[in-house]
Structure 1
């Protein structure tokens, strides 16, 4: 399962990327508000994303977070790899160390199929495509009020 940190990281990345078309850099406070996360927690997530080149930050009065063209074309799985690691796509749902087709946990076959579908979806979906869905209004990052 994807962690809460990873969910926030994906939401933050998509929000930042949605501003790329307009060349807008966004602050930690704006990002935290948009993804409905605590500012300090958002800051830690953004540090990790910046360090791993998922997003870029610029300091100073005209600074903020943004995505360049290469970052926009990265698959969303890079965010998952950076925050949670790839174990989310390989680990046993029951937490067994020796779970496999030959030694399955009770949910192995059902979960493995869904996990593989999610992996391929994340691998084949770019940050740009999710940002475009947000920018055009067909997708949302906030819960309805």
Structure 2
């Protein structure tokens, strides 16, 4: 069953390679016997499911988790079971691709200030000028 990213975007199962490795860190005797950590590998640059724009965004978002060959490598060892780590790795991959597939934000169009706003600004400047001029020393202060 393909990994569904968005309603229109899915990654085929044969594109994702999962391998199970021993988790690092503390864990007692069990950690040395059981391979519960998951290493997910997915060649984003060769994936037919992605457009060029999404592929470039995946490369930017993956950062150091992407090899020079364009393979995204994720390690999941947060949980104690293989199945939960597998689901975690797939969800993290889906989140990266989902964010990469978001449409770009709209470009701000430059606008000119209206005549009324220019006049309001000039009126406010004149008012402030009068107020500040009134704060200075006057001739009859002697």
TM > 0.5 between the two? no
Please state which structure has a larger fraction of its residues in helix: 1
Under TM normalisation by the shorter chain, which class is it?
under 0.3
Structure possessing the higher radius of gyration over alpha carbons: 2
When the two structures are superposed, what TM-score results if normalisation uses the length of structure 1?
Answer: 0.24
Please state which structure has a larger fraction of its residues in strand: 2
When the two structures are superposed, what TM-score results if normalisation uses the length of structure 2?
Answer: 0.25
